[in-house]
């Protein structure tokens, strides 16, 4: 028999989960991230729905002979499914990982939905608030949390005996560390006029890389720079 009070309770849980998802998604969308309001709304709402089904959807089978029920099974699959969704948002560009925070936020949003779906209103709402607080405050550049930037740089220099040494000295004078570099000639001919040098640099946060690139392009042995 349909219990309207119980169904209304479930509906309220789903609505609250949807609102929490919208709040988390709004912060991500304002920062032009891969997942916004709709994605977080659907993830949080559907997680609450799955939790309700997992916890209350099989009560008519409880006590039935020869039937074993694991109320956590559906909820556990939510975590696995959201993991695949988050993995699709992570990609690497120029030695920098993008989308990792958004993917973690999607995973945390699913956790909020599961908590609200199970009826844990306080822990669900508090977790939503802490997620929003963390994504807002920790997004600022605190000097004690700042890490040096890593950038890829492609340079073509004249095929001179000391070209690489000159380039290394330039970076050293500017306190820029070379993490790795790859040297390749324009052709297999030993008389090739240019050498391709691909570098991965560690740059201090306070450094203006644009001004540095404008400065080094005036060196006569440097013929091409790609940042």
Could you write out the DSSP letters of every residue in 14-58?
A: HHHHHHHHHHHHHHHHHTT-SS-HHHHHHHHHHHHHHHHHHHHTT
Helix/strand/coil for 194 = strand
CATH topology of domain 149-226: Alpha-Beta Plaits (3.30.70)
Residue 212 neighbours by CB under 8 Å, 6+ apart: 174, 176
Per-residue model confidence (pLDDT) at position 76: 83
Per-residue model confidence (pLDDT) at position 88: 76
Give average pLDDT by consecutive 10-residue segment, the chain, 227 residues. Answer: 82 95 90 84 94 83 68 81 79 66 89 93 94 81 60 82 83 82 69 78 74 78 80
Per-residue model confidence (pLDDT) at position 2: 67
Per-residue model confidence (pLDDT) at position 122: 95
Per-residue model confidence (pLDDT) at position 147: 61
For the chain, what are the domain ranges? Answer: 4-137, 149-226
Per-residue model confidence (pLDDT) at position 65: 65
Which is it for the CA torsion 109, 111, 116, 117, positive or negative? positive
Per-residue model confidence (pLDDT) at position 84: 80
Per-residue model confidence (pLDDT) at position 169: 86
Q: pTM for this structure?
A: 0.63
Per-residue model confidence (pLDDT) at position 192: 59
């Amino acid at each position: 028999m349909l219990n309207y009070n119980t169904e209304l309770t479930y509906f309220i849980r789903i609505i609250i989960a949807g609102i929490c998802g919208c709040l988390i998604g709004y912060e991500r969308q304002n920062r032009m991230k891969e997942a916004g309001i709709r994605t977080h709304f659907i993830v949080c709402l559907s997680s609450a729905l799955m939790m309700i089904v997992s916890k209350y959807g099989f009560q008519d089978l409880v006590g039935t002979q020869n039937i074993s029920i694991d109320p956590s099974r559906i909820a556990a699959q939510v975590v696995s499914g959201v993991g695949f969704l988050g993995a699709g948002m992570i990609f690497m560009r120029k030695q920098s990982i993008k989308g990792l925070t958004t993917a973690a936020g999607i995973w945390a949003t699913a956790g909020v939905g599961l908590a609200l779906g199970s009826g844990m209103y306080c822990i669900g709402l508090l977790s939503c608030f802490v997620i929003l607080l963390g994504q807002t405050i920790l997004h600022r550049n605190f000097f004690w949390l700042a890490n040096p930037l890593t950038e890829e740089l492609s340079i073509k220099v004249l095929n001179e005996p000391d070209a690489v040494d000159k380039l290394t000295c330039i970076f050293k004078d500017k306190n820029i560390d070379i993490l790795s570099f790859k040297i390749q000639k324009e052709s297999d001919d030993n008389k090739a006029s240019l050498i391709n040098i691909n570098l991965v640099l560690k740059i201090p946060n306070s450094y203006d890389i644009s001004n540095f690139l404008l400065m080094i392009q005036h060196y006569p042995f440097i013929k091409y720079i790609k940042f």
